[in-house]
Structure 1
Amino acid sequence: MADNHLGEFLRARRAAVRPADVAMPSHGVRRVAGLRREEVSVLAGVNADYYTRLEQGRERHPSAQVVNALSRALRLDTDARTHLHQLAGTTASQQPAATSARVDPALRVLLSGYPDTPAFVIDPSLNVLAANAPAQALYSPFEPMDNLARMVFLTPAGRPFHSRWDQTAETVVGHLRQAYGIDPGSAQPRELIAELNHHSADFARMWRTHTVRGKTREEKYFRHPDAGAITLTYHAFDVREAPGQQLIIYHAELGSPSAEALRILGATHTTTHQE
């Protein structure tokens, strides 16, 4: 049987919504986590049998209107709603061409222009394509600084380095789920996901939730073995001339202990590599 990504996503998201979340009364003993299929169909205004066929994979081509109605019923945020449209084939792919691993020389120069700010470039599979010296200093517990997902789930340094590991791990899974939804036929994210599923029970459990999340802005909490606790805010920017690439810039609050920790880390990293 063909893969049923649309149905799996709907089931996972249905299980994540409780009747109280949508002001729906709950009667009797519930044998399912979250909403029943009939409840989703009522909330979305679609035929219950039709919705069942969507989950079972017997119907794979809902209209954009139905997708929008289901998104509202399942309380999907913007990233998850976009992902559902992609699975249903009701929107064009966000990524028109394969992502290049080549980072433009001008962008590399831009990275080096942030002497005290970690900055790096990633692709949709969270491979680190280029990084400036402060980013290399921050991520120095990892050798190499190659893929953010592997660094979180498969590297021993991952858990002690990320102070809020569970939060970071869930975010990483959400990013990979979004990348997979954009181009499920691409070998790169598919092979990475298979590797993570095979070697990390935590990843496999989180992957089954079908949580979708794009990179925008968020606080990050680190505990560096040489600098202690560091709290940073990151911003993600699409690289227009290289679809799929993103520039990630970390920022510490001016005058904060985290800013001082970054300064010390950068100086130590530079001295070490000059010796």
Structure 2
Amino acid sequence: MSTPLGDFVRAKRDSLQPESFGLPDHGRRRAPGLRRTELAMRAGISVEYLTRIEQGRDRNPSPAVLNALADALSLDAGERHHLRYLAKITGGACPGHRPPAPPNRDVRPTVLATLRLLEPGIAFVTNRLGDVLAYTSGFELVMRGTGLLDAETPNLTTYVFTDPRARTFLPDWDQVADEQVFDLWLGPSAETSEWFRATLAPVAGPEFTRRLHRHLPPPQVPLRLRHPDGHEFRWHRERLELPSTDAQELVVLLPADESTAQAVERLRHQSGGILRAVS
């Protein structure tokens, strides 16, 4: 049975080019990337042990082994953090753990007050599952007519994979889909992520399930949105993590070019300037 940690190590190994490590080419490879023997040698562990990690038969590698794998795979700081997180949730995946449950959706009053200070900017509070918990009138203005906020409890991940309008609204749909699925592994907790994956998988289809075990962090690029009125926006995203007890983040969308800034100004007259908190 595979594990998040094993899936990540295997996916990262497959994504690497052997020549970038100065490894000789001994003919056509049956699979892309590094061979297990090559990665094991670079990490200083046995091929058998690496195989057990990748196949989920060893769920508790030591910190020294994790560091060796991170070095051997040339992980950057973000990927190293993700590797340690996956090791933590993999090691804790045992019988008797708490049953999956939906996350807390309450947003603290001071966070709502911070959103009011950001008016008329485009900002919202979310969690790693994609729940849209609160937002400014600017965010509501930009999302109007897209279908994202139509649900009683809006969720960006559910919208991306189940609403046909998402592929028109999001020109880089594959990029956003990769981001949303990757974020599921980052919280709010292993239990809530498990609950959400089990809830969404039956209705989201293969585009969702085939991404579940990819584990490679998607590139950080501007977010493109194609508004129903014909405007195309490009946004830089500032993601501000709230305290760990909240398991939420404040996301601010900033125009990435002058045409986006001008398009937003043309929409401003429709804004009522009211903060909406989703219960």
Q: Normalising by structure 2, what TM-score? A: 0.82
Unmatched 5+ residue regions in structure 1?
none
Q: CA 1:194–1:89 in structure 2 vs 1: closer, same or farther (change >3 Å)?
A: closer
Residue 111 (structure 2) pairs with residue 107 (structure 1): yes
How big is the shift at 1:31? 1.5
C-alpha distance in 2 between matches for 1:72 and 1:29? 26
Residue 58 (structure 2) pairs with residue 75 (structure 1): no
| CA RMSD of superposed structures (Å) | 2.8
Q: Which residue of 1 aligns with 2:228?
A: 225
Q: Match for 2:223: what amino acid?
A: K
**From 243, 251, 270, the counterpart of 2:272:** 270
Q: Which residue of 1 aligns with 2:259?
A: 257
Task: Give the alignment of 1:1-275 within 5 angstroms.
Answer: 4-89=3-88, 100-140=104-144, 141-142=146-147, 143-144=150-151, 146-179=154-187, 183-184=189-190, 186=191, 188-198=192-202, 199-212=204-217, 218-240=221-243, 242-252=245-255, 256-270=258-272
Percent same amino acid at aligned positions? Answer: 31
Unmatched 5+ residue regions in structure 2?
93-101, 274-279
C-alpha distance in 2 between matches for 1:126 and 1:230? 20
1:125-146 deviation line (CA, Å, top 9, x unaligned):
1111101111111112121371
SS of residue in 1 equivalent to 2:32: coil
How big is the shift at 1:270? 3.2
1:104-124 deviation line (CA, Å, top 9, x unaligned):
222212212223311110112
C-alpha distance in 1 between matches for 2:209 and 2:224? 23
How big is the shift at 1:219? 1.7
C-alpha distance in 2 between matches for 1:59 and 1:92? 9
Q: CA 1:209–1:241 in structure 2 vs 1: closer, same or farther (change >3 Å)?
A: closer
How big is the shift at 1:92? 11
Q: CA 1:110–1:227 in structure 2 vs 1: closer, same or farther (change >3 Å)?
A: farther
C-alpha distance in 2 between matches for 1:189 and 1:266? 36
Q: How many residues align?
A: 259
For the 8 Å contact 1:64–1:90, the answer to whether it is kept is no
Q: Which has the higher contact order (CA 8 A, sep 6+)?
A: 2
How big is the shift at 1:25? 1.8
Q: Normalising by structure 1, what TM-score? A: 0.83
Q: Match for 1:8: what amino acid?
A: D
How big is the shift at 1:152? 1.5
How big is the shift at 1:236? 0.7
